[in-house]
Amino acid sequence: MSRDLHPRLLRGFVATAETLHFGRAAERLHIAQQALSRDIRSLEGLFGDALFARSTRSVELTPAGLRLLPKARRLLDLHDELVTDAAQRPLLLDLNSDVTGPDLTSARILEQARTAWPQGEILARFHGGLAAAAGELLAHRLDVSFGRFAGLAAGQRAQLHQTPVRLERISVMMAAGHPLAGRAVLRLAELADHPVDVCAGNPATTEWAELGGRLLREHGLTPAAPYVPPVGVDETARYLTRHGDPMLTTTGGPLIPGVVNVPLVDPVPLSLVSLVCRPQLRHPGLTALAEAAAGLGAGEGWLRRPAGSWLPDADAALLTV
């Protein structure tokens, strides 16, 4: 028989011991009286002895209940202290990039979560991509990240939890002098004579490179050579001018002087962004992030898939989990 003791059972016992009334104890705990009675029976079964002497007119502690009460109070005090310590620890969040943009998913979620949870602290980290962040998550050096979960290795996915957040529209950014830079949108077929940079040279973003490579292969397009990735706005502008290849990104991506961002169509390619963390993580900062993501998503249709859009099957399957 399992000997695990859930704090809920002890809270029900202490409340009942202090009120000597199941109804008033249930009201204090904001639960149904039947649920409280069930918890007390579970606790009595665990200890193998009655904790209360019940009659139609009164409830009294038994000798076993009297022995348990001070120990239960001490254990609950320690439990609450541990929970408080965990809640006061800063939550470490990876934003993938230190550049800003008009509609960056992770940045918008972070801003709203910080507003909703002003008493806490969410510290931003910049690991460059979910592939790099996944190792930090599993090593407990990071708490939460955002990115394309389906592109992680199977062993990493098995140890992490994901919540779909947003279907982002994929675009290309290029130097303003590029021949395609003046278009309002670009059909995928119009990239046939232009190698596309999918950041294959960046080990931190292999999940993104895999998505980009799949998109190009399925539409008969050519990937650009894998260059050493730039860091920062100014270096990205120089990189795009030097190499001359359109770079795969998203429509809400960074604003870079001298660089344009053009959405792709026919079909509209999508990338599924998920909130990723360890399954056992419990933290009020995580709750604030999840609620911010859910609120923004519901208000702006973040998970609404356009008709005829392109999304790999592995990513689409995550939307149904």
- CATH number, position 247: 3.40.190.290
Average of pLDDT values for 195-203? 94
Are residue 122 and residue 223 in the same domain, yes or no?
yes
Inside any domain, residue 20: yes
Are residue 124 and residue 61 in the same domain, yes or no?
no
Are residue 117 and residue 186 in the same domain, yes or no?
yes
Are residue 99 and residue 230 in the same domain, yes or no?
yes
User: Which pairs with CB-CB distance under 8 Å and at least 24 residues apart come from 193-196?
Assistant: 194/222, 194/245, 194/246, 195/222, 195/223, 195/224, 195/225, 195/245, 196/172, 196/221, 196/222, 196/223, 196/224, 196/245, 196/246, 196/247, 196/248
Containing domain of residue 241, as a range?
Answer: 91-318
Inside any domain, residue 1: no
Residue 187 has φ and ψ, to the nearest 5°, of -75, 145
Average of pLDDT values for 102-129? 92
Q: Domain count of the chain?
A: 2
Are residue 132 and residue 226 in the same domain, yes or no?
yes
Nearest-angstrom CA–CA distance, 156 and 130: 11
Give the tokens for residue 266: 């026919």
The domain that holds 33 is classified in CATH as: 1.10.10.10
| pLDDT tens-digit readout, 55-114 | 888 999 999 999 999 999 999 988 877 766 665 789 999 987 666 677 899 999 999 999
Residue 4 predicted with pLDDT over 90: no
Look up residue 266 and give its DSSP letter: S
Place of tokens 């990493």: 156
Are residue 84 and residue 99 in the same domain, yes or no?
no
Residue 254 predicted with pLDDT over 90: no
Are residue 84 and residue 125 in the same domain, yes or no?
no
Are residue 69 and residue 193 in the same domain, yes or no?
no
Nearest-angstrom CA–CA distance, 188 and 78: 60
Task: Look at residue 260 in the predicted model and tell me its pLDDT.
Answer: 96
Nearest one of 91, 135, 96, 131 to 113, comparing CA atoms: 91
Inside any domain, residue 2: no
Inside any domain, residue 137: yes
Are residue 74 and residue 150 in the same domain, yes or no?
no
DSSP β-ladder status, 122-125 and 91-94: parallel
